[in-house]
């Protein structure tokens, strides 16, 4: 018995070591992620709080008040008060400050980071400072993060659910047999998209209904508009998964490639926290990912009551990404492993 176990153990290790693509990705992926994260989120004085300053100039003069020199705080200029109130309510800003007399600040009472930012602000103003109310209903963090949780679940299910299945079909010869039929690559790709779409939408609807029932999460917009965003977003993510698996023959390599896509997307698309205080180039990179546009449109509908016309730019980007991923995936698609 032990000899048979040892033989299978040795064969599986040799199979993995001889798969140079899988071996390379398992070594390269953690290194690339560590260097990337340390570059984006590194720094000795990395800001932990984001404070908006109401002013017309884009540049913040830190000599105006000692509070603007507080460590671990990122100060961003806000030229429109209504926009600042909205960002405070949506946890994009931890605090909004106006230094012009009468000095006033606004904070979301449901924001944990806003609470500590307010304590630091009050210490810097021993003479006192007026406190304003956040206009509109303050957004709870659970309301803000719900689209991120649903989007992240969609991302993993779409990419890994499709990518691994297609690679397994190719590896065990199922795709080779399909090639003998009149089925064309684009038809196979469309069928995979439709199949995964039904499953994803069913699961996402069930999860959303449960959170809505138990947590009474916020929904100011139209359910139809949110459904359209979820549909187009799922199509874009499934199409990306098919593109990754278009020519891959190893499940280990497919896993490495999919991780290389999902981890940056999860960290830079605003799933857990806002990128309001991030560098401009980081926000530009985030726009490359479908999940960024999905979450932006979903939060606008759920928290701001936006309609389809308001999120049309994000929907157009998702449609363009889906067409690009589907077209390129069908063009690169390979039926056989060799």
Which pLDDT score, from 0 to 100, does residue 93 have?
Answer: 87
Residue 258 vs residues 46, 71, 243: alpha-carbon distances, Å: 29, 37, 10
Q: How many Å separate Cα 13 from the centre of its chain? A: 35
> Both 18 and 54 in a single domain?
no
Asked if residue 337 is part of any domain, the answer here is: no
Which pLDDT score, from 0 to 100, does residue 191 have?
Answer: 78
> Both 169 and 122 in a single domain?
no
Q: Which residue ranges in the chain fall short of pLDDT 70?
A: 1-46, 135-138, 276-278, 335-338
> Both 168 and 295 in a single domain?
yes
SS3 for 104? strand
Inter-residue contact 74 to 47 (CB < 8 Å): yes
Which pLDDT score, from 0 to 100, does residue 89 have?
Answer: 81
Block residue for tokens 């297609």:
166
Which pLDDT score, from 0 to 100, does residue 279 have?
Answer: 72
Asked if residue 246 is part of any domain, the answer here is: yes
> Both 107 and 14 in a single domain?
no
Which pLDDT score, from 0 to 100, does residue 91 have?
Answer: 78
Residue 260 neighbours by CB under 8 Å, 6+ apart: 25, 29, 32
Eight-class DSSP state of 7: H
> Both 106 and 178 in a single domain?
no
> Both 60 and 164 in a single domain?
no
Residue 111 neighbours by CB under 8 Å, 6+ apart: 88, 91, 94, 138, 141
> Both 163 and 296 in a single domain?
yes
Asked if residue 328 is part of any domain, the answer here is: yes
SS3 for 167? helix
Asked if residue 308 is part of any domain, the answer here is: yes
> Both 176 and 206 in a single domain?
yes
> Both 25 and 82 in a single domain?
no
CA gap 73, 54 in Å, rounded: 16
Nearest to 218 by CA among 309, 293, 136: 136
Nearest to 252 by CA among 10, 19, 8, 11: 19
Inter-residue contact 319 to 232 (CB < 8 Å): yes
The edge-to-edge listing of strands for the beta sheet with 104-106 is: 73-78, 49-54, 95-98, 104-106, 130-132
CA gap 321, 128 in Å, rounded: 51
CA gap 98, 197 in Å, rounded: 47
Degrees, nearest 5: CA angle 19-23-29 = 145
The β-bridge relationship of strands 104-106 and 95-98 is: antiparallel
Which pLDDT score, from 0 to 100, does residue 81 have?
Answer: 85
> Both 150 and 115 in a single domain?
no
Which pLDDT score, from 0 to 100, does residue 30 have?
Answer: 57
Nearest to 230 by CA among 211, 208, 213: 208
Which pLDDT score, from 0 to 100, does residue 315 have?
Answer: 95
Q: 49 φ, ψ to 5°?
A: -130, 150
Residue 127 neighbours by CB under 8 Å, 6+ apart: none
SS3 for 58? coil
Domain that holds residue 223: 141-332
Inter-residue contact 230 to 147 (CB < 8 Å): no
> Both 116 and 194 in a single domain?
no
Asked if residue 24 is part of any domain, the answer here is: yes
Residue-wise pLDDT for 183-237, tens only, equals 777 777 777 777 878 888 888 888 888 888 888 888 988 999 999 999 999 999 9
What secondary structure does DSSP assign to 108-124, as a single string? -TT-HHHHHHHHHHHHH
> What is the tally of structural domains in the chain?
3
> Both 170 and 318 in a single domain?
yes
């Amino acid at each position: 018995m032990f000899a048979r176990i040892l033989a299978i153990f040795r064969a599986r290790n040799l199979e993995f070591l001889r798969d140079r693509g899988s071996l390379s990705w398992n070594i390269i992926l953690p290194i690339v992620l560590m260097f990337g994260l340390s570059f984006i989120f590194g720094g000795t004085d990395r800001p932990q709080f984001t404070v908006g300053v109401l002013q017309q100039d884009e540049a913040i003069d830190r000599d105006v008040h000692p509070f603007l020199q507080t460590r671990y705080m990122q100060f961003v200029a806000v030229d429109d008060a209504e926009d600042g109130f909205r960002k405070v309510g949506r946890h994009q800003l931890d605090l909004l400050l106006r230094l012009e007399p009468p000095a006033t600040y606004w904070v979301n009472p449901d924001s944990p980071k806003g609470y500590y930012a307010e304590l630091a602000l009050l210490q810097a103003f021993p003479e006192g400072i007026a406190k304003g109310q956040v206009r509109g209903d303050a957004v709870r963090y659970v309301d803000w993060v719900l689209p991120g949780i649903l989007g992240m679940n969609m991302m993993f299910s779409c990419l890994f659910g499709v990518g691994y299945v297609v690679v397994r079909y190719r590896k065990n010869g199922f795709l080779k047999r399909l090639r003998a039929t009149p089925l064309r690559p684009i038809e196979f790709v469309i069928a995979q998209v439709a199949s995964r779409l039904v499953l994803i939408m069913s699961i996402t609807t069930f999860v959303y209904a449960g959170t809505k029932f138990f947590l009474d999460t916020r929904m100011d917009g139209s359910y139809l508009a949110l459904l359209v965003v979820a549909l187009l977003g799922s199509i874009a993510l499934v199409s990306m998964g098919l593109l990754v698996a278009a020519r891959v023959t190893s499940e280990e390599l497919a896993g490495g490639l999919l991780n290389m896509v999902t981890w940056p997307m999860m960290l830079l698309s605003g799933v857990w926290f806002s990128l309001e205080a991030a560098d401009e180039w980081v926000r530009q990179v985030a726009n490359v990912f479908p999940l960024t546009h999905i979450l932006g449109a979903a939060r606008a509908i759920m928290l701001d009551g936006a309609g389809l016309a308001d999120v049309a730019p994000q929907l157009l980007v998702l449609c363009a990404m889906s067409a690009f991923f589907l077209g390129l995936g069908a063009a690169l698609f390979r039926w056989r492993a060799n």
